[in-house]
Amino acid sequence: MKRSFLFPGQGAQYPGMCKDFYDKSETVRELFSIADKVTGRDLKSLLFDGTVEDLKQTENTQIAITLMSLSIRRYLISNGIEADGAAGFSLGEFSAMVEAGILTEEQVLPMVIERGEIMARVGKENPALAGGSAMAAVIGMSSADVSSNVDSIKDAYAANFNAPTQTVISGTSAGVEAASAKLKEAGARRIIPLKVSGPFHTPLLNDAMKYFVEYLSGVTFKDPIKPMYSNVTGKRVGSGVEAKELSGLQIVSPVKWIDIETNILSEGFDSIIEVGPGKVLTGFWKSASKEITCKPTGSVEVTDTIS
């Protein structure tokens, strides 16, 4: 068996997240203690008591999801379930870098707080976003057709290539609204607004990329000790230097998730586990393989069924 962990991104958060893992596992409680020390925040309060609106804010979402994903990773490992490779969707890529040995938990936890705060700040400061930003999932249309329709719309971009007939568009509120109208006319089956608070994976966050790259200049990225696949390229990350460069580019680049799934399958992985809240990546995986099922881990009850 060759197993890959997949780590989800923003949008999977919910109030009370990770409490069951915290209550049951000493290794998870240890991670929360480490997280509080390296971030200077009361993260148990945020995850367990934060409201939907609290958790929707980028500066909170990113650390909440990362801490839960890394907690579940610890829980799986403590139960003898380890990975031979990893990938992460957008934000989830930072948890995947922990799994691949590129970064440590102590590095990633403050890093994603910094990333979230930078992205939130740029979202507020960018004049182009004065009217707000939005993201929406386009269902029932090929990624090529989505891209060709959106390319002509100002401040709207194809941002996440999730599945052959699901692509996320991102941009200003006006841009996404105009793109949504055009895509409906072009035959999109459904367009679903997403619960995020920024125009992620678009050039509208170029300043965020610049500030985050400056932050990363003082961080050491090690070479991966197991396969990890990049959102920016869809391919294996070859070195720590490459991982560091891609971590900045990822903020403004589309997520090539279909390519990642294809490469995971082509390299012989036959056990797939979504490590984090929700079942979004489990759903995406269904279009990648009919034979290999992706198993979710959103609760202790579900995770304890995995062997």
Q: Which residues are catalytic?
A: 90, 201
Handedness of CA 200, 16, 74, 265 (dihedral sign): negative
By DSSP bridging, strand 166-172 and strand 85-88 are unpaired
Number of C-beta neighbours around residue 246 at 10 A: 18
> ∠ CA(213), CA(234), CA(100), 5° rounding?
70
Query: Who contacts 40 (Cβ-Cβ below 8 Å, separation ≥6)?
Result: none
Number of C-beta neighbours around residue 266 at 10 A: 8
Handedness of CA 52, 53, 54, 60 (dihedral sign): positive
Sheet holding 294-295, edge to edge: 228-229, 85-88, 3-7, 271-274, 294-295
Q: How many Cα atoms sit within 13 Å of 57 on the Cβ side?
A: 14
Instruction: Give yes or no for a contact between 88 and 7, defined as CB atoms under 8 angstroms apart.
Output: yes
